[in-house]
Structure 1
Amino acid sequence: MTRTTEANVPRCAGCGIPLQSESQTRPGYVPESSIGKEVAVCQRCFRIKNYNEASSVTVDQDEFLKLLGSVASTDSLVVHIVDLFDFQGSLISGLQRFVGNNPVLLVVNKIDLLPPVTNWNRLRNWVQKQAREEGLKVADVVLCSARRNIGFDRVVEAVTAYRGDRDVYVVGATNVGKSTLINRLISDYSDLKRELTVSRYPGTTLDAVHIPLDDGKNIIDTPGIVYEWRMSEIVPRKDLAALLPDKPLKPLTYQLNDKQSLFIGGLARFDFVEGERQSFTFYLAGSLNVHRTKLERADELYADHKGAMLSPPSLEDLASMPPWTRHRLRIPPNAQSDIFISGLGWIQTNGKQGATVDVHAPRGIKVMLRESLL
């Protein structure tokens, strides 16, 4: 078996975890014959890259916070990547106290999910306002899509403008597209011939990865922080593809009378409790089914059809998820509001008379009213 000291321990070229050949059940396992290679990839990253197969390896979040806390003592540019589809769910709470006086560049990924007719200036202003409300001071906001290579030239320009001769720390929640963006930064700033592991599964980057730049500085990719208030963190992994859209969202508009309910698969329920007849527009992944019923029949429908017609999740997987809890929201008259369900999407309200609605979602999932995104 290969043993190394902490000072010279080799690390995975994909996720940055220290490599070891002693136990296949521990993070960072590689066969002993591979551990000395110049570019070695752990078994977990190999499986993700070649078979799209996630493992159950997790990382202690105290270590993540310790790592994030060290950023304040450096002279760095902090690039915070957020997921536009899950903006309030993927913004790092309290980031300002961790970064000190270092400038923060807010990169908003996955804009390809929005309609082409979106007013991008209005969207950028919306992002700036939401960030301010969360107490985050940002030097700039950049909108992009790493997947579609939209706006990435602007990301590179902004990093160049604000970096100077600093290192670049890249931070974000799990599954916001950090590794995809960093791969693109590598191609512009470094001749390093490797790619980070990119996966749709949360928690792919297990440790800080230092990527040397041509000017002697580094891009530091930090592990994604896990927020359990996001639906994408608590659903069974096989259902993630149903939640995470990979195509532009097709809004679903429903004209509802009060006392009607809509189920979003078996993941959440929306009740129009009180108000004049009005429309509600759902922005969800296209693979999720929405079922309408009368409020008085909603409990019975769920009891009879959860895990089957009302899925995901399956009936078997329901046991591993938290029970639903109810959130009552009162929408003021003439308000342009979204009902945001973290990791699942949002519901745009369109009524001028106001409304009272209930959202039933797994306990702990963030549900809130916000200013309308679109």
Structure 2
Amino acid sequence: MAKLNIIRRCYSCGVVLQSKDPQKDGYVENEFLQDLSKGVLFCSKCFHSEKYNLAPREASLDHEFFTLIADAQATDALIVYVINLFSFEAGFIRALNHWLSGLDILVLANKRDILPDDIDDEQLKEYVAHRLRVEKLKVLDVKLVSASASYNIRDVIDVIKDLRRRRDVYIIGQKHSGKTTLMEAFLKEYKNLSRTNIITQNYPGTNLKVMQIPIDQSTYFYDTPGLGNDNSVLEKVEKPVLKAIVPVKKIEKRRFTITKTQSLFIGGLARIELVEGEKTAVGCYFSDDVDIKKIVLPDANKQFLRTLSKDLLHPTSKNLQSLKDFDIYDIVVDEEGSRDIGINGLGWLSFIGANQTFRLYLPKGVSFYTTRSKIQDVK
């Protein structure tokens, strides 16, 4: 009697499914392929691209910005790079870093005032410098500042004087880095020693609005537009949610212990659970206005959806109403010591690395990072 073979195809790409060779197109585990009750199947490749977005996206950058940086290179300008200490690690743009490579960079690490007081400033500066060195950037110095509290602003002006050596100065930074507030604080201390007025106009050859601030008769500060931040939670939510997740006062660590049967809900914006590993103590660094709740796993999906639809945790976003609105990542931690998993624009979690695997749910398009701890304390 003839044997009937049912040909099954991937629901996404249409390739014929097979269970013999994981390296070939159309692979799916045999138990799924033989289970005819599963009406819809994805091949391994499509399953990972649909459900587990394996490549967190970089922020975009207006191509005209490269014209501006090319001029900075041509004149060997000093770059003042403003970062948001609360969340900067996942915001680097590799193409921009390539163009900045070799230029002298002064880093202004903004919003020091919202981090805990007991952090050692020198340790924090070294952490920032290390992160930029990993990006192959030439960091001359790191200054911790707070634009809103005018912390260290006078010192920054003196450092720029010492480092610029009669060169132009280009000030760059991502949106929400506090660069605008920092410039306002800077201008209060600024003295115009030239006969030229401060002007805002399109940078030559581009449509980029740049504030041109004379330093002397021949050199200028160029305050450039904020860099793209479209891989951040800050660009995915409504204004009321934005106000809740951007901390305006000192953040306090919240402590939780999670096991493989538990999940942490971070408002209705993110979720993390332990997939592999022993019970883990986690320190959570998020705005005080972001609720964090520990949930037992078997019903986690159902409870998360209920949280989204019923606004059970603060904040939730109208843009995030189903699991389809989230990317899912499995993060394998094989390093030991204090580690962070950070969510671009939202905050971070600290823990002791011990061969864990975490599953992270993020709004689609939002990037994350994992690195050594920004704050060397997980108790």
Task: Quickly name the TM-score band, shorter chain normalised.
Answer: 0.7 to 0.9
With over 3 angstroms needed to count, the CA separation of the structure-2 counterparts of 1:279 and 1:60, relative to structure 1, is: closer
Within 5 Å, give how 1:179-328 maps onto structure 2. Answer: 179-191=180-192, 207-307=209-309, 308-314=311-317, 316-318=318-320, 323-328=325-330
Aligned Cα root-mean-square deviation (Å): 2.7
User: Does the 8 Å contact 2:198/2:214 carry over to 1?
Assistant: no
Q: CA deviation at 1:97?
A: 3.2
Task: Give the number of aligned pairs.
Answer: 306
In the other structure, the counterpart of 1:159 is: 160
With over 3 angstroms needed to count, the CA separation of the structure-2 counterparts of 1:242 and 1:257, relative to structure 1, is: same
Of 294-303 and 213-222, more deviation after overlay is shown by 213-222
Of 338-347 and 304-313, more deviation after overlay is shown by 304-313
Q: Which amino acid aligns with 1:250?
A: E
Name the TM-score, length of structure 1 as normaliser: 0.75
Gaps of 5+ in 2: 1-59, 201-206
Q: CA deviation at 1:280?
A: 0.3
* Separation (CA, whole Å) in 2 of partners of 1:180 and 1:194: 17
* Separation (CA, whole Å) in 2 of partners of 1:268 and 1:226: 22
User: Does the 8 Å contact 2:198/2:211 carry over to 1?
Assistant: no
User: Does the 8 Å contact 2:154/2:189 carry over to 1?
Assistant: no
With over 3 angstroms needed to count, the CA separation of the structure-2 counterparts of 1:321 and 1:245, relative to structure 1, is: farther
Q: Which amino acid aligns with 1:244?
A: V
With over 3 angstroms needed to count, the CA separation of the structure-2 counterparts of 1:134 and 1:99, relative to structure 1, is: closer
* Separation (CA, whole Å) in 1 of partners of 2:70 and 2:366: 26
In the other structure, the counterpart of 2:173 is: 172
Q: CA deviation at 1:184?
A: 2.8
Q: CA deviation at 1:60?
A: 8.2
Q: CA deviation at 1:370?
A: 0.6
User: Does the 8 Å contact 1:279/1:350 carry over to 2?
Assistant: yes
What secondary structure does 2:64 align onto?
A: helix
User: Does the 8 Å contact 1:82/1:91 carry over to 2?
Assistant: no
Gaps of 5+ in 1: 1-58, 197-204
Indicate the percent of aligned positions where both proteins have the same amino acid: 29
With over 3 angstroms needed to count, the CA separation of the structure-2 counterparts of 1:186 and 1:328, relative to structure 1, is: same
Moved over 4 A (4+): 191-196, 319-322
* Separation (CA, whole Å) in 1 of partners of 2:199 and 2:321: 38
What secondary structure does 2:156 align onto?
A: helix
* Separation (CA, whole Å) in 1 of partners of 2:126 and 2:320: 39
Q: CA deviation at 1:92?
A: 4.4
In the other structure, the counterpart of 2:108 is: 107
* Separation (CA, whole Å) in 2 of partners of 1:238 and 1:292: 24
What secondary structure does 1:150 align onto?
A: coil
Deviations 1:320-369 (A, max 9, x none): 99721111112236321001111111000136x44221110012211221
With over 3 angstroms needed to count, the CA separation of the structure-2 counterparts of 1:206 and 1:301, relative to structure 1, is: farther
Q: Which amino acid aligns with 2:223?
A: D
* Separation (CA, whole Å) in 2 of partners of 1:74 and 1:106: 19
In the other structure, the counterpart of 1:70 is: 71
* Separation (CA, whole Å) in 2 of partners of 1:98 and 1:334: 34
Q: CA deviation at 1:248?
A: 0.9
